[in-house]
Amino acid sequence: MPLTTGPVDVRPNRAEPVGRSPRSNLLRVLLVAAFAFVALLGWSFASPVGASPDDNFHMTSIWCAPGERPGICEETSDPGERAILSEVANSSVCFAFVPEHSGRCDSELSGLIVTGHGNFEGLYPPVYYGTMSVFSSADVQTSVLLMRVFNSLLAVSLVTSIYLLVDRRLRAPMLGGLLLTAVPAAIFLVASVNPSGWAIMSAGTLWVALVGWFRAPTLSRRIALGGLATVSAVMGAGSRGDSAVYVAFGALVAAVLCFEKSRRYLLSLLLPLVVIVIGAAFYLGSNQVGSALEGEMAGARPENVNIVSGLIRTVMNIPQLWVGNFGTQALGWGDTKMPAIVWFLALVLYAGTAFWALTRRREIRSTIAVVLAGVALVMVPSWVIVQNAVEVGVLVQPRYVLPLLVLFLGLLLFGAPDLRDRMSPAQKWTIVIGLSVANATALYTTMRRYLTGTDYAGFDLNNGIEWWWNSMPIPPGVFWVLGSIAFAALLAYAVGALGRGTRAIGTPATDR
């Protein structure tokens, strides 16, 4: 049943008309999942090894996560250093900060070099690095491609599984939160080897799975959603220290959204409490957030920090972090500048959808959750920035708050009517066309920057190539075309242009 403009009902759907058989609905969802995977694959192949921010740190941490491996990662006399494959530690040295240079390295990187730039002292949680290390080997290019493909497949599988298990009122908020924040930073990071990709996916899916857990009409669906929520929580908390905080926050807002005075609710609180414990455990086991909150991100605690004046100045400039994720900040190592059309379209569509959702009457629990997320979006980065006495955008990067942007929009849409039923066709197609253009432009710009460098004036991605994946028989232009078309198809479905009326998998036509 479509949402109304009245209070949010967190009870299971009582009835939802369905025009297709469950099997055809499932096949249709899987087809759209394939679109999402192809769209992410386009980004996975768009940039060379070492292209995402701080990849030299993250890749070294991945390759050394299993411990000493002769010829790959070896211990040294200093516990804070490792001897690592130079192709891993210096993966970005050929092109980082030099946009005119393609992703090609003229010098052959070989042998081991000693570096202290890695997760050797527990700065980050170990789960992400340990998982990615399964794919690490002496063949660095193949390893990185496998990691990117795995992360893309994991993201699609998590979202698709939750989508099939929750009711319709949760689907639009999850897809809207993820897709309207995707271009360009989020989709670039999810399809990379950067742990921020896991943090983004966790923020967009955890609270949805937990709300589904609270309102699941059957034991089997509750168990499945509980398992997916746990996976999402471990992904988020196990990737970054700050994401561990976001995991606990996601559990809190889910509990707020579903609050009721009943024994069932109290029993259902067990899983959110477990999720909060997971977040706290990873947070306490990581030095990343502790150093940030103590003002030691730059290595030394600043003197004479003025909290009041610092907060006022920072809060007035904190939107700089938010808009950076829509393309005002360059991708990669800050050297892949996006055309203005990318950030203009992505930002306008996000803001327009958020404003549209705010105009709808919502229930008090939804309002509380939105306010909490809004306060967190402002105060979490502001407090860290003030404690470290730095300017906005220095040390604290836009991608650090991207998970909160995903969560905030998802919560706004949760309290609003269904996107597919309440938006006009013109509004729907504006989102589809606008975000598709932004994604295609961002993907093209990224590929052009690495294929030839920005000093090449040609349009055809298959001409003048200076860098491309070794032994890859498919030309880069194919990845751009397929990735762009797949993303557009995914968007068309998400706003209802390809049909409507699916229900949760395994749910009868009359849902009790």
SS3 track for 156-196: HHHHHHHHHHCCHHHHHHHHHHHHCCHHHHHHHHHCCCCCH
Q: Which of 118, 110, 114, 141 is nearest to 63 (CA)?
A: 118
DSSP per position, 273-288: HHHHHHHHHHHHT-SH
Element containing residue 199 per DSSP (H, E):
helix 196-215
Rounded-to-10 torsion of CA 242, 244, 246, 248:
-150
Is residue 101 domain-shared with residue 179, that is, in the same domain? no
The pLDDT tens digits for 389-434 are 888 888 889 999 999 999 999 999 997 766 666 788 899 999 999 9
Cβ atoms of 454 and 413 within 8 Å: the answer is no
7 inside domain: no
- Given a cut of 90, whether residue 209 has pLDDT beyond it is yes
Is residue 304 domain-shared with residue 333, that is, in the same domain? yes
Range of the domain at 331: 32-55+139-494
CA distance 404 to 370: 11
Is residue 67 domain-shared with residue 212, that is, in the same domain? no
Is residue 184 domain-shared with residue 323, that is, in the same domain? yes
Is residue 250 domain-shared with residue 398, that is, in the same domain? yes
**pTM for the structure as a whole:** 0.92
- Given a cut of 80, whether residue 502 has pLDDT beyond it is no
The pLDDT tens digits for 266-322 are 999 999 999 999 999 999 888 766 555 555 555 556 667 778 888 999 999 999 999
**CA 374 from centre of chain:** 18
Angle of helix 22-44 relative to helix 140-165, nearest 10 degrees, comes to 150
For residue 358, give Cα distances in angstroms to 114, 184, 334, 354, 413.
Answer: 53, 24, 33, 6, 8
332 inside domain: yes
359 inside domain: yes
Cβ atoms of 66 and 130 within 8 Å: the answer is yes
Instruction: Please give the span between the terminal C-alpha atoms of the chain, in angstroms, as a whole number.
Output: 13
The pLDDT tens digits for 142-155 are 999 999 999 999 99
Is residue 249 domain-shared with residue 328, that is, in the same domain? yes
- Given a cut of 90, whether residue 184 has pLDDT beyond it is yes
38 inside domain: yes
Is residue 258 domain-shared with residue 390, that is, in the same domain? yes
502 inside domain: no
Is residue 255 domain-shared with residue 379, that is, in the same domain? yes
Strand order in the sheet with 82-85: 73-75, 82-85, 112-115
Is residue 297 domain-shared with residue 211, that is, in the same domain? yes
How many domains in the chain? 2
Is residue 235 domain-shared with residue 115, that is, in the same domain? no
CA distance 5 to 8: 8
Is residue 350 domain-shared with residue 435, that is, in the same domain? yes
430 inside domain: yes
Is residue 154 domain-shared with residue 129, that is, in the same domain? no
475 inside domain: yes
